[in-house]
Copies of this chain bind each other. A is one copy, B any other.
Amino acid sequence: MNAISASSMNSAATDIAATMEPIGRAAVDAARLLATSNAATRNAALHAAAHALRTNREAILAANRTDLEQARARDLSAALLDRLELDDKRIESMAAGVEEIAALADPLGVVTAEWTRPNGMRIQRVRVPLGVIGIIYESRPNVTADAGALCLKSGNAVILRGGSESANSSRAIHACLVDGLRSAGLPEAAIQIVPTTDRAAVGYMLGSMTDFIDVIVPRGGKSLVARVQQEARVPVIGHLEGVCHVYVDRDADLTMARDIVLNAKLRRTGVCGAAETLLVDRACVATHLTPVVQALLDAGCEVRGDETVRSIDARVKQATEEDWYAEYLDRIIAARVVDGVDAAAAHIAKYGSAHTESIVTGNAQTAERFLSTVDSAIVLHNASTQFADGGEFGMGAEIGISTDKFHARGPVGVEQLTSYKYVVRGSGQTRA
């Protein structure tokens, strides 16, 4: 590297630091105030933000049109344009989502355990916020509202860093959240958005803000999450993928098996809880395999099978080793025959992503064996994998489904965005 490029890089790095450090410091200060704020104030800010989203609809749509024009000029894909585009319905849905988060129970101050020691000390474990959360996301501007609201509800300050394609939309939405904070008397730095679209800002958040950011949540595709997990020097809550399985056991009710498989695969194919692999017990190949596979084919789903599955219908394509690892997020399913519940569990352990798996069986003992041996965030008996969702679990809005085992596993809602502390009340105790 010659001297000129080194110096220009240093100057760019200085610029990023000059932008990001004050954001970090302000977030830490805001987090300290939020930690002792009361739930009514935070909820008032959320309601005011929802109101601002509705009253500033035109401004948000105008900002969104600018983003869309630039995206079209750059020939971005139709799928991306769809994720990017806002309309009246999507804005109303954002506002309603913020109100739903306001309506959730306050996760803070909850005593999750308490006991008294023989020496009379009373110990409580009390839920507190994590502190400052960094959210790194891609083109969906609604994440600005969702993530901002979830962090505020849980008493955390948040630094939002959205994709450059949605920068104008996100800024307009962010302005509404700040309106809400201001009207409730909360610090505006409780919800900040990174003002630069320079990609170096992401690297700076991941690597150089350990003094300011307590946890990073990536929201987006596999490559974003992988980059974050690779580079982050702070803890990350993220899931890489959902390679979800449905295992149809010899004791499965055929109609139930067919309904669950069709729903798990086809209700929505683009969600992380969509089934990607069908496992069928060899003991019920004669009775269950053909009707289930044909129902999938008839519904327009491509089936990639092993030899046995291929033998039942000419429309079944040959599965390769790669198919067992695949997260299609499409109308495609891999299908194979396995020797009972233990073989199903072994297949899932080898090829799965520890997200969500379901067994269909009428045999309670077989079900319990599956539920205990399969080590995934969510294991279901006689229910569709598409229930993998914080809302469907009754946990309220979520920021994603974690496939990590550390801190948060499964749906990440407001409770998972908290930590705890031990509060000890004594009467002069000293240690012997």
Chain A stretch 377-395: residues in CB contact (< 8 A) with chain B:
377-384, 386-387, 392-394
Which residues of B sit under 8 angstroms from A215, Cβ to Cβ?
406
Who on chain B is nearest to A255 by CB? B428
Who on chain B is nearest to A349 by CB? B32
Which residues of B sit under 8 angstroms from A377, Cβ to Cβ?
421-422
With A32-B349, A383-B121 in contact, do A130 and B405 touch (Cβ < 8 Å)? yes
Chain B nearest CB, measured from A128 CB (Å): 7
Residue pair B117, A394 in contact (C-beta under 8 Å): yes
Chain B nearest CB, measured from A420 CB (Å): 6
Cβ of A424 under 8 Å from chain B: yes
Who on chain B is nearest to A259 by CB? B430
Who on chain B is nearest to A112 by CB? B112
Which residues of B sit under 8 angstroms from A426, Cβ to Cβ?
380-383
Cβ of A373 under 8 Å from chain B: yes
Chain A stretch 274-290: residues in CB contact (< 8 A) with chain B:
none
With A393-B117, A405-B130 in contact, do A378 and B428 touch (Cβ < 8 Å)? no
Which residues of B sit under 8 angstroms from A319, Cβ to Cβ?
none
- Cα A382 to Cα B429 in complex, Å, equals 7
Cβ of A184 under 8 Å from chain B: no
- Cα A429 to Cα B367 in complex, Å, equals 15
Cβ of A24 under 8 Å from chain B: no
Chain B nearest CB, measured from A254 CB (Å): 11
Q: Of B393, B409, B428, which is within 8 A of A383 by CB?
A: B428
Which residues of B sit under 8 angstroms from A419, Cβ to Cβ?
405-406, 409
Secondary structure dominating the interface of A: mixed
With A394-B115, A406-B130, A425-B382 in contact, do A263 and B349 touch (Cβ < 8 Å)? no
Who on chain B is nearest to A405 by CB? B419
Interface size on A, residues (CB 8 A): 62
With A215-B406, A387-B431 in contact, do A422 and B382 touch (Cβ < 8 Å)? no
Cβ of A307 under 8 Å from chain B: no
Chain B nearest CB, measured from A1 CB (Å): 19
Cβ of A371 under 8 Å from chain B: yes
Chain B nearest CB, measured from A332 CB (Å): 20
Cβ of A214 under 8 Å from chain B: yes
With A121-B387, A393-B422 in contact, do A263 and B430 touch (Cβ < 8 Å)? yes
Residue pair B387, A429 in contact (C-beta under 8 Å): yes
- Cα A380 to Cα B427 in complex, Å, equals 10
- Cα A347 to Cα B266 in complex, Å, equals 57
Cβ of A376 under 8 Å from chain B: yes
- Cα A235 to Cα B419 in complex, Å, equals 16
- Cα A393 to Cα B123 in complex, Å, equals 8
- Cα A36 to Cα B392 in complex, Å, equals 28
B-contacting residues of A (Cβ < 8 Å)? 32, 35-36, 115, 117, 121, 123, 128, 130-131, 214-215, 230, 233, 235, 253, 256, 259-260, 262-264, 267, 349, 367, 371-373, 375-384, 386-387, 392-394, 404-407, 409-410, 419-431
